[in-house]
Amino acid sequence: MENFAMALRIMGMGMVGIFSVTIVLIAVMSLLTKVFPPEHEEV
């Protein structure tokens, strides 16, 4: 049972890492979109 608890702790740390990297990437993309807005081409 001790190994199971340790595995859950490691898995939780991995999930926190994945979500934190995802949040950072979304924030950087949002910031870049605000700094450099897309140019609209007129047809």
Domain ranges of the chain: 1-35
CA–CA gap between residue 3 and residue 15 (Å, rounded): 18
Q: Residue 28's pLDDT is what?
A: 98
Q: Residue 21's pLDDT is what?
A: 98
The token duo for 41 is: 């081409």
pLDDT one-digit tens code per residue, 1-43? 999 999 999 999 999 999 999 999 999 999 999 999 988 877 6
Amino acid code (one letter) for 27: A
User: What is the pTM (predicted TM-score) of this model?
Assistant: 0.72
Nearest to 34 by CA among 26, 43, 42: 26
The token duo for 38 is: 């897309």
